[in-house]
Every structure is written in structure tokens, then in C-alpha cells.
Structure 1
Amino acid sequence: MCGICGVFDPVTTTPPDLILRMMTAIAHRGPDGSGYFRDDTTALGHTRLAIIDVDGGVQPMTGEHERVWLVFNGEIFNYVELADELRSRGHRFRTASDTEVIVHAWEEWGPDCFRRFNGQWAIALWDRRARELILSRDRYGIQPLYYTRSGSRVLFASEIKSLFSDLTVTRELDPDGIDDLLTAWSPVAPRTLFTGIRQVVPGTYLQIDEHGVTSHMYWEPAFPDRGAEPARDLQHNTERLREAVIDATRLRFQRSDVPVGAYLSGGIDSAVTAAVITEFADADVHTFSLRFTDAEYDEGHYQRLMRQRLGTVHREVAVTGEDIAEALPRAVWHAESAFLRSAPAPMMLLSQLVRDEGYKVVVTGEGADEVLAGYDIFREAKVRALMAEEPDAAVRAELTEQLYPWMRRSPGQVPAFAESFFNRPFAPNDLGVSHRTRWVTTASIASMLHPDRRASGSADRILADMPTGAARWDPLSRAQWLEMRTLLSGYLLSSQGDRMLMANSVEGRFPFLDHRVFDIAAAAPAEHKLHGLDEKHLLKRAFADLIPAEIIDRPKQPYRAPDAASIFLTDAPDWVADATSPGEIVAAGIWNPRAVELLMQKGRRAEGRGMGNTDNMRVMGVLTMQLLHRMLVRDWRAPEPLPPRPVVTFDRTSGNPAGEWT
């Protein structure tokens, strides 16, 4: 992966200092080199993490006709096959990189090329003949891509801090973005937490020219009508899924010119990808795990089972509450977002271990829960529907007890709470019924906001984006679409994914987010994915021979980390008291000072232990929003241009008398 940035301005030529400052702000994304292209209209910047064609894949890149100039973050895993097809159509290649394949694919197929790509990408392509800038983002939003307008300029970048390198860009938190975060855990594309800053919606491309910005969708997750699923044979679907996951993993392991490692979490998803990798490796496979010193969150037993089964070279990092508290400010800086869980910070520490061990690519199991129905929210929705039809109290209690065997403070242990939790009245035709309970619970945090920061309507905006045929889908399919549209792209692949990986210049690869895997899962009936309350049933069947039964049969345990318990320590870092001091709360103007004071008093009394789910989210939301405001709004300073280092420049402005590349 890399970092990209740039400016389109049909009125004023972009000065070199601006594009260099933008590149400096994202230098951590690409420590292996950098370069920029500039003409009278467009500037493109790139910082490189060299993974494919290490010597030849320098960016910005163009084709033999110099019509198209490109900067690119990500990987096109089927680039070998696409290059062969393009050569047969007369295209000539100078490199063995996937980057050059994008250039020729655009020349050959135009926007249709995005449907042909199997990969993860954020692309900025300047078509000099058409006089248009194209910004494209992969199907799921694995790679980040932001943009904003400032006067006649349209600026874009992999990270928001790069946009802020132009000091004319407004730095201000957006109430609608905050409302999204306090509803769906993260801003939902195209919104961000910052006023005027937008993100390219996954599965779309933007066409930018002197007339403005136009968005085009080339892909979105879609499901067949309920009862009309085209693939209804369980054994056939099992075999197809196995084949697709194996090929997706093989591509992501083998298509690299640097070593590739694998995460091993203790769950089935990373166990599958690590097991498949060992089948194709011609040397020892290196795996990496995250441990917790708090036994409630630790999955070391299952990690041990799998690494012993595979015989990998294994490294792990054991994280304490103190580690999380210390790492949280840096995690917020890289995420450029507040979050309601501490979970991103340990993931950043894990990627640091990967980099320290000499690796800059890891394969992970992310995406399996969304594609194959692995989350509690899917099971909860099913239980809610069953309880609506079941009057017997004993049966209802048994259903709730089956949901959270891993949770110490499970709703099933408090029958009265479970009844209220699963019997909240929602309209029977509500397309968001699967997520309403989460949204309502999370949105209660908004009562702590300063009145000037409050907004509403996030849930309605999310549902308004659902495809017109969604009402005909199975309820599980609707829930999967919502999870992909909200939590997957905005939080799991961003705050907890790309940003925590790239904080240490590490690329993550996600076989379960190969679109061919999704196509197989989407075509199958709901009961193949969620069989009774057995989540990811199809995946378990497909790989039962490779995974220990103890992992296959273990109750689903989501990745969690200590939240408030990491904050209210006897030796808590100074930043906690600073961020929540009355003066800081008033100065930021985000939260109600009295509400914050009462919350922090409660946390100190309990030492962060025994706090409920909502209070944990309140603590993290307040702290991370305060950190975000301080670092990216109040105290922001634009970086100086890149220090002396190799910078490849391509200058074709009228201000370059020679008109040559430099």
C-alpha cells in the first residue's frame, strides 16, 4: 500500500510546495520512495510502500502515449491475467507492476476497468486528453480516499491530514459526522467527521472536471429476492466457497515481491487463511497474534492450537491496559476519527510487531463475518424474530442464553433486561430492524453532547441509501448489507484496519473480501450462512478438515479490548486528565461539561471495572473526540515539505521552460 494525494485546479497551477506538504503528511504510508506529477491543471503525489515490482513500479506512472497519469494505493491481484489480455490487444508494458496495468486498462476499457479488477485500491487517474480526473475506490472501501473543495481547487488524499496541508481548507468537526459515529460507530461514506471533507463511497468512482464532481457507482453488494436464491444446494455451495477462498488467499499470498505473513487471532477466519497459506508456502510461514494480559479478552489458547497445528514461526504481543492508554493518542492521530472502543490501539501495536519482525504485508481474516454472517447482530435479529412468535418464557430465556456465552455481563443473565432488549417495538416493515437496537443504544451517548453539536437523522440517511429492491431480500441479507455499508467500511477497515496497519507501514490483505467470495455467499440461502444460531455455517463446513474442532465448535467471540478499564488506572497517563479537564471540555465545545464530569467521576469510583456497555462507549467517545479535536483542529500545524530524500518529479507546467521531465 501507499499514500496518494493531489490537486485538480482549472484556474491556478498547483505550486510544488503544496503537493510536497501533502505528501509529507502521509509519508508514513510510503517510506520506500515518493514522486509527483504536475501540469497546469493537475498535480499528483505519491509515497510508496514497495511490494510488487520493487524496482520498476515507481509512481506517478504513465503509459506509452503519456495520455494517462496515475497514482495508486493498494493492489490489483489479478494484474498478471489482465496484463496478458492487454498485451494481446496491442498494449506495450515497461514494468511488471500492477500499477501499469491500471493505466492500460483505463486506456482500453475506460470506467469498465474497475469491474474487472480483483483487488483493493484507491486510484487517482488524470486523463490529459479528456481533461478529467478520476478518483476510484474499491468495492468495500478497504483503501481510504478523501476529497474536498477549496476555492477553484479539488484536493484529494489517502488521509485527511494531507488535505489540511492546504491551510485554506476548513478544519471543523461536523455535527452530521458526529451523529453517524454516535449511531453506527463511524461516519458513513460520503460523510466524515470534518465539515466539507468527503470520502469516496466504496464501489464508486468520481469524475472531476472544470464543470464539477460527478459520482458513478460501478458495484454495490446485492442479494437475490427471498426464496429465489440461485444456489440452494448446501454441498455445492460448500465446495464453491472452499475453492473461492483458497484461490483468493493464494492470490493475496503469492502476488508479492516481498515476504507475506499472516495474522492468527484464535478465531476461524484467520485460522482458515493461515491454513491455506501453509499449503502454498515454499518456506516457513510467519504468523502474528495479539494477546491480552486480561484473561477476559485473551484468545491465546486457541492461537496456540492453530500455530501448533500449522507449525508456523510465531510471534505475539501481549497488551496491557497501560499499553492501550499510552497508545490511544497515536491511534486517534492515525485513525483521524474518534471511536467508541479502544480496540484500534492494540491492533496498531500488533502491526508494529509485524514491522519490527521485518514484514510489511499480512493476510487477515477480516470480512468473513460480514460476508458469511458471523456477528451477534445477525443472531440477535433472528432471536428477536423468534421471540416475537414464541410466548413461552422458558424458551425465550434459553434463546438469549445461547447468544453470549463469552460475555461476563450477558443480557441473558438478567432476564428483565433481556426481555426489554429483545422486545423493543419496531415497525414490521422497518428495513433497519436488525440494527435498530445497536443504533438506539449507541445514539444515547448523544445526550452528552453540547447542544450546538447535536444532529439527528443518521439512521434515516443510512436506510435511504439501501437499494430499491432490498425490501424483497431475506432479513439476513438486509442486515448484511447494513453491516457492510456502515461498520465494515467506516470502522473495521479504516479505524481498526488500514490506519492501524499503515501507522507502521504495513499492508493488510483480506481474502474474504474477494468479490468472488461475496458472490457465492450472496447467492446462497440465509440458512446456509446462519444455520439456526450457528454462524458462518458454510465456512465451518468448507474447512472442517483444516481447522481443529475446538476452534470450529467454539462460541463466536468478537475481538474486544479493555475500554474504560484501560483508562481509569492508578497511574493513568497525563493526557487523560488533560483531555477531560473542564477547561479543555469547554474550549472544544463538543461535550456537555457537567455530563463529562459525572461520567469521569463514575469511572474513577469503579476504576473502569463493571461499567456497562454504554458507559464504556461514552468514556471512549469523549476521550477520543477530545484528542481528535486537539490534534487535527485546534493544534494542527501543516508539515514542512519533504526532507531531502529521493523524489521523482514529472513537471509539464508552462512554468517549466524545457517542457521536460525532471
Structure 2
Amino acid sequence: MCGIAGTVSFTRGAGDHHVLGQPISCTVHRSEPGSRRSWSARHARITATGVTAVDLVDGLHQSLTVDQAAIGTTVLAGTGTLFNAAELRRQLSARGHSFDGAGCAEVVLRAYQQWGTACAERLRGMFALAIWDAKREQLILVRDRFGIEPLYYTDTGDGFAFDSTPNGLFAGGLVRPVVDQDGLRELFGFTPTPGMSVFKGVREVLPGEIVTYGRDGLARRRYWTISARLHTDDPETTTARVRQILQDSVRRQVAPGVPLCTMLSGGLDSSAISALASHGMPGTPLHTFSLEYTHHLKHFRPDELHDSLDSPYVAQMVAFLGSEHDELRLDASDLVDPAQHLSVVRAMGQPVVGLDMYVAFQRLAQRIGDITAPVLAGDGADELFGGYIWFQDPWYVKTATFPWLGAFHRMEMVSGLVDRTLMKELDVPEYISVRYEEALREVPLTGEEDATERRMRELTYLNLTRYLRIVLDRRDRLGHVGMVQARVPFVDHELVDYVYSVPWAQKNSGGQEKYLLRAAVRELLPGSILQRKKSPFPTTQDPVYRLGVRARLQAIVESGSPVVDLLDPARVRSVLTDPSFGLSTGVNRMSIEMALQLHHWIADCGVTLDV
């Protein structure tokens, strides 16, 4: 899809390729051959790569905008989409700014020239921006409030480099893909720390953060964070306000004349977005997409997290909306394909938790990519409105850790096959505990909360600032594999600003999960969808998949892969010979999936472990 990159050095010139390298290339999943544009001067080099987007008026795709005014050269590179470009254009025109074209990249550039870095507070959308201000000899990096668009940076020794992905930094040769013990703790702990990557020396621009680099060095400041305030609206007013903000968020993220597409699971969140999009664009055909595992069609079994099969509910919504629908069906052979595993690791830049889900989503993104249009998705609703089981089940609520770890706290969720000595050194449970206490100290409170309200606010904050990162990163990275830009109307700062402060009793009235959201969209959906219990993104129940990943592990071990030195021999043998697939020794399916991905990470992606 698209990406940005650049370098700054005040000790050597831009022509010194040893320092500034060739144009730093974004990972292949973020660009097309021949789509790179670059600008360079004495101390800086900026690169943008991308494909042509359908809605160019709102998109920052493939944008590299240079303004050489009397006040000095200003260069902008950006990815993502701005949802209030028209309003900003009117405001800036009223202040005397002129525009050469219709794109929003120029709007952002003029906004910076008018308001400086304070312009970030006026932007509404999903974006990652890099601005080189030649007069100040300063680079400015800006990331949207929730980090929907990625942006990384590193100290090069002679200066500073940034890229949309760590892979891009590595491709430029300015930093090596090295993972130390803290990187493994991040990986195995499944508790993403804001600002950290798993790679040594590589950091993320925080969501809602501005990072500047100049002759005085590096500076960082947040321009937005979640805040708490007293909520005085009654339930009826609250419901109406949520509906209004959500309608506005969806409206801003679709455009006349552009194909209207949504991801549809048959659950409340995606169904609500699909209905709001359809109602907001009357007369525009709606194209919906879903996926299902072929094994589930005949053999689905309800479990703790998945109460029902998606397909029947998807069919109901398709009939209700009258949408053109495309269902992708996957079987075990799709999910155990080594090429798909490698593609996931390359796209994500690291191993993931729940490999089958990532393969499935990657395949869905590839299917959707044929439409070449933005796709709306329902991500963010569970984190904001309290839809996950860990908001509802008292046992999870009381667990003194990140709630999504739940029963895995003090256990090995994904590292069951890793060498025992190394795992003892890493002490991942202690790392998780430290990160958890840090996160709790950040939670915004009014001081008026009782114990229940305080805890639910803690859970909401942890989900919005940690777990949502996992969801959004999956959506972004794998979406780029299929050249798809997914838009997430629930992840809107005006909606979060309002809903975060709504008392839990209103959000969860009568003990019904996401009651407030259900009430806000009640008139738009069939009763069966409104009453459906939360069912997360599905994982396969097909026993053939478990056999397949075991066979993959055996093949990797027999190949002499370097990952073998990282694994515990006794536990590997238990997976390959024990009828329980190693469960009796503490190994679960996710641990096997992690071993497969570690193989690709080290053997195929060139990652070095410094442990």
C-alpha cells in the first residue's frame, strides 16, 4: 500500500550514502515497484512509497509534498487518511492560504505552516506524518491518536532514521534486526508496551505523539491522551449522543463515488458499521466480505469464547442489507501452508499469537484487495464498550493482570516450547507484572469512582492502550498484504472521549454486554443480531490443523533449522510423540505455532537473537 521513510544527519551530507543509505525501502507489503518518490537536501532525505488510492481527495497515499516558499522549504510525507480535510481547507483558505490541488497532503502542509506542531490537534483521521522544516532544520514525526498508521524510528549513530516499519529500517542498512531479552519478553508476554518494538534500538512513535529531531537532539510530547471527566448525561441523552458521533465517524470515512465495502462477521460491531454505512450512503451498493472455516460448517462446537457460528448471522445481515456478498472459505491446508506462515511473519515483522487467525485474515485481505477500495471494519467496539469476556466474567475482572491473559497468567501462553533455562532467565511473569503496574498508574480517573467503576475504567484503559494495539497492527500489516486500507470508525477520538467517561452501569445496563452500543444502533439491525452474544474472530477447530502444525514442527526440526537451539528438546519430543501433542508437558497449540514462526523469523528473515 504505502509507507514513508527518511534520515537526518547533521554530521555528514545527504550525498554520503554510508550514513543516509539508499532511499530506505518500506517492506514489499507496503508498496509497489516504481512507486517511490524521494526528496533530499544537505541534512535530510525523505521517501514516500505507495499505490494510487481510490479516494485521493482524502488520502495521504504516495504523498511527498514540497513547498519552497520564502520562509524556507517544508517537505511532507504521509500515509493514511484525513477525515476532516474539507473543514481544514476552508479554515486555512479563510486565513489566506492557497492550494494548488485537491489532495489533503497539501492541507496538512498548510496546517503546519499556519499552526506549527499544534496542527496535530486539529487533524482527525488515521495518519503517520513526517515533516522536514528546513528553516528550523528540524524533522517532525506525528502519529494519529490511536496509532492506526505505524511509524518507527532509531538512532543511527550519525543521526536519525524513521520508517513505516522496522523492516524498512533494516532494509536501509542503518540498523540490524536484533532482538534482546527485553524484546523476547515483549514477544512472549503478549503485553505490548506503548512505544516499544521487539527490536533493539527501534522505537515506535506513540499514538497521539509528536517526535521532533534537530540539532538539539530528540524531543517527544503527547498531543492527545485518553481523559476522564464527570458524565452528567442521562441514559437517553447518552444513547443519542453515541449514535450521533458514530454516524458522523462512519460518514466521514466513506466518500461519494467510491465503492462501499465492509467486513462483516454477523456480530454486533461489524453489522452496526455495515448498517450505518449503508444508511449513510443511500443508493450506493454495499459489498460485504466474511470468512468461514469449512470444518466449522459441519462440526462447529461452542466454547467459552465462541458461542455460535458466524455464517448464519452473516447470511441474515446480507439479506437484511441487500448487500453483494463474498464469503471466503478456508480449510486446514490453507492454514498450515508454510508460505502463508512466512508471509505473516514478514508482514507483521515478528511472530504473533494465534497464527491461524492471522493466516485467515491475510487471506481475506487478499480477497478484498481485488476491490481496490477502503473497507470499513468494526474493530475497537469491544475495547470501548466492554464486549470481551474479560469485561463480563467476574473471575477475569478480578484477575490482577492484563485481563486478556486471564487463565494464562503465570503460565506460558506461547513460549511452551522455548528452552527452559532461557525462560527462567527471561522471567516473563515478572515482566508482565511490572508492565501491568505501570499501565495502572496511567489510568485516567476523576476521583469520584467507586471500586467497581474504577476497575471497569482500568480494564477499558488497558484494552484501549494495549490490546487494541494488537488488533490494529494485525489490521494494518496484513491489510497491506492484500493492498487493502481498513478504516475503523469505532476508533475515533471524539467517540472515545465521550464513551470512556460513561459510567459502567450505563454501558452494561442489566448486565448485557455492550448494552450502550446495542441501544444506540437498535433501530438499524435485526433482533437476532442485536441479541447475539459476543463471538471473537474465530480460530479453527479442525483437528487436521493440529496435525498439520505438528508435521511442520517435525520438518523444521529435521531440517536443522537454527531455531532448534532455542527450543527445549524434551518438550519438542512430547509434541512429536505424545497423543496430547505435548499438552501433558505444558505445551499448547499456540506454543507450537510460535516455534514455527520463530523458525521463519530467524532462518528466513535474518533476525539475530542477543540473549
With normalisation by structure 1, the TM-score equals 0.81
Question: Is the Cα–Cα contact under 8 Å of residues 564 and 611 in structure 1 kept in the other structure?
Answer: no
1:271 aligns with 2:271: yes
Give 2:352's match in structure 1, choosing from 339, 344, 354.
Answer: 339
- 1:487 aligned residue: 467
CA distance in 2, matches of 1:50, 1:81: 23
CA distance in 2, matches of 1:614, 1:363: 37
- 2:178 aligned residue: 172
1:116 aligns with 2:90: no
CA distance in 2, matches of 1:2, 1:58: 6
Question: Which shows bigger deviation, 367-376 or 439-448?
Answer: 439-448
Query: How big is the shift at 1:283?
Result: 2.4
- Deviation string 1:376-410 (CA, Å, 9 cap, x unpaired) is 11113x4566xxxxxxxxxxxxxxxxxxxxxxxxx
- 2:434 aligned residue: 460
Structure 1 unmatched ranges of 5 or more: 386-421, 427-431, 637-662
Query: How big is the shift at 1:622?
Result: 2.1
Q: 1:159-558 to 2 correspondence within 5 Å?
A: 159-183=165-189, 185=190, 187-224=192-229, 229-254=230-255, 258-281=258-281, 282-295=283-296, 296=300, 298-326=309-337, 327-342=340-355, 343-356=357-370, 358-380=371-393, 382-383=394-395, 426=400, 432=401, 434=403, 437=406, 440=409, 443=412, 445-446=414-415, 448-450=417-419, 451-452=421-422, 454-455=425-426, 456=428, 457-467=431-441, 470=444, 472=447, 474-489=454-469, 491-494=470-473, 496-558=474-536
Secondary structure of 1:67 counterpart: strand
Q: 1:586 to 1:299 in 2, by over 3 A?
A: closer
Q: 1:146 to 1:468 in 2, by over 3 A?
A: closer
Structure 2 unmatched ranges of 5 or more: 301-305
Question: Is the Cα–Cα contact under 8 Å of residues 3 and 26 in structure 1 kept in the other structure?
Answer: no
Amino acid at match of 2:316: L
Question: Is the Cα–Cα contact under 8 Å of residues 171 and 633 in structure 1 kept in the other structure?
Answer: yes
RMSD: 3.0
Secondary structure of 2:295 counterpart: coil
CA distance in 2, matches of 1:361, 1:339: 25
Question: Is the Cα–Cα contact under 8 Å of residues 362 and 508 in structure 1 kept in the other structure?
Answer: yes
Q: 1:510 to 1:186 in 2, by over 3 A?
A: same
Query: How big is the shift at 1:173?
Result: 1.6
Secondary structure of 2:145 counterpart: coil
Secondary structure of 1:36 counterpart: strand
CA distance in 1, matches of 2:133, 2:284: 43
Question: Is the Cα–Cα contact under 8 Å of residues 294 and 320 in structure 1 kept in the other structure?
Answer: yes
Q: 1:286 to 1:619 in 2, by over 3 A?
A: same
Query: How big is the shift at 1:186?
Result: 5.3
Q: 1:4 to 1:601 in 2, by over 3 A?
A: farther
Question: Is the Cα–Cα contact under 8 Å of residues 71 and 123 in structure 1 kept in the other structure?
Answer: yes
- Deviation string 1:227-273 (CA, Å, 9 cap, x unpaired) is xx32341111100011111110011112x774341111111111011
Q: 1:168 to 1:542 in 2, by over 3 A?
A: closer
CA distance in 1, matches of 2:575, 2:593: 11
Aligned length: 578
Secondary structure of 1:583 counterpart: coil
Query: How big is the shift at 1:576?
Result: 4.1
Question: Is the Cα–Cα contact under 8 Å of residues 189 and 198 in structure 1 kept in the other structure?
Answer: no
- 1:45 aligned residue: 47
- Deviation string 1:292-331 (CA, Å, 9 cap, x unpaired) is 1132374111100001000011111101121111122211
Q: 1:340 to 1:24 in 2, by over 3 A?
A: closer
Question: Is the Cα–Cα contact under 8 Å of residues 60 and 70 in structure 1 kept in the other structure?
Answer: yes
Question: Is the Cα–Cα contact under 8 Å of residues 435 and 479 in structure 1 kept in the other structure?
Answer: no
1:595 aligns with 2:601: no
Secondary structure of 1:43 counterpart: strand
Query: How big is the shift at 1:139?
Result: 1.0
Secondary structure of 1:22 counterpart: coil
Amino acid at match of 1:286: H
Query: How big is the shift at 1:458?
Result: 3.5
CA distance in 2, matches of 1:16, 1:566: 54
Amino acid at match of 2:595: V
Q: 1:155 to 1:553 in 2, by over 3 A?
A: same
- 1:625 aligned residue: 598
CA distance in 2, matches of 1:613, 1:525: 40
Amino acid at match of 2:216: H
Question: Is the Cα–Cα contact under 8 Å of residues 266 and 314 in structure 2 kept in the other structure?
Answer: yes
Question: Which shows bigger deviation, 149-158 or 469-478?
Answer: 469-478
Q: 1:530 to 1:237 in 2, by over 3 A?
A: same
CA distance in 1, matches of 2:277, 2:157: 50
Query: How big is the shift at 1:531?
Result: 2.7
CA distance in 1, matches of 2:8, 2:150: 19
Q: 1:613 to 1:241 in 2, by over 3 A?
A: farther
Q: 1:161 to 1:348 in 2, by over 3 A?
A: same
Relative contact order, CA 8 A, sep 6+: which one is greater?
Answer: 1
Query: How big is the shift at 1:63?
Result: 3.5
Query: How big is the shift at 1:436?
Result: 6.5
CA distance in 1, matches of 2:270, 2:381: 9
Q: 1:616 to 1:592 in 2, by over 3 A?
A: same
Question: Is the Cα–Cα contact under 8 Å of residues 580 and 623 in structure 1 kept in the other structure?
Answer: no
Amino acid at match of 1:478: E
Query: How big is the shift at 1:337?
Result: 1.6
Amino acid at match of 1:631: D
Question: Is the Cα–Cα contact under 8 Å of residues 177 and 194 in structure 1 kept in the other structure?
Answer: yes
Query: How big is the shift at 1:138?
Result: 1.0
Secondary structure of 2:289 counterpart: strand
- Deviation string 1:314-369 (CA, Å, 9 cap, x unpaired) is 1111011211111222111111121120211111111111112x223101111111
Query: How big is the shift at 1:291?
Result: 1.4
Amino acid at match of 2:571: A
CA distance in 2, matches of 1:469, 1:189: 14
Amino acid at match of 2:432: S
Q: 1:525 to 1:126 in 2, by over 3 A?
A: same
Q: 1:294 to 1:19 in 2, by over 3 A?
A: farther
Query: How big is the shift at 1:211?
Result: 3.0
Quick one: percent identity of the two aligned structures?
25
CA distance in 2, matches of 1:263, 1:612: 39
Q: 1:578 to 1:114 in 2, by over 3 A?
A: farther
- Deviation string 1:105-156 (CA, Å, 9 cap, x unpaired) is 1111122211211101111111111111111111111111111122213111
Query: How big is the shift at 1:214?
Result: 1.6
- 2:303 aligned residue: none
Question: Is the Cα–Cα contact under 8 Å of residues 161 and 632 in structure 1 kept in the other structure?
Answer: no
